Amino acid sequence: MKTLKKIFAVLLLISMPLAALAAPVDGGMLEIDYMSSAPGSDFDIFTFVSSVINWLFYALLVMALIMLLLVGYHYIATGGKDPTKVADNMKKLGFILLGIAIALLAKGLIYATCIIVSGSGDLCKFW
């Protein structure tokens, strides 16, 4: 039985290249457009850059939300009694809000620059 399996495996391996050389039924050459169906053939650098920008922007917003929650928790945990901790929390809150403002401004400037360069908003799909 083992020798039969070995013979079958060898015959299968030998017949594989022959099957690849088989001609089509109509006798003509088989034409395949490899690039239209290849993975990544529809790659567009502008779409890639915009998706990276969007991921970074939304990751920053999520981090800012987490930081806002942490600062709020620290503010509540101190009870507003220690003036140095309250001032420190207010300073952190100011930095978080400044970071959000800078991120929104950067996103808006990217969009505005795209509109100015392209002449219309059709290519600018950063939102």
Question: Per the structure block, which two tokens stand in for 25?
Answer: 């039924």
Q: What is the mean pLDDT of the chain?
A: 77
pLDDT at 61 over 80: yes
C-alpha–C-alpha distance, residues 94 and 12, integer Å = 72
The reported pTM is 0.56
Comparing CA positions, the residue from 61, 40, 59, 63 lying closest to residue 51 is: 59
The full set of domain ranges for the chain reads: 45-118
Q: Is 27 left (phi over 0), alpha (psi -120 to 50) or beta?
A: left
pLDDT value, residue 67: 92
**Would you state the pLDDT for residue 95?**
93
pLDDT digits (tens, 9 = 90+) for 30-52: 555 555 555 666 667 777 777 88
Q: Quick one: pLDDT band at residue 121, thresholds 50, 70, 90?
A: low
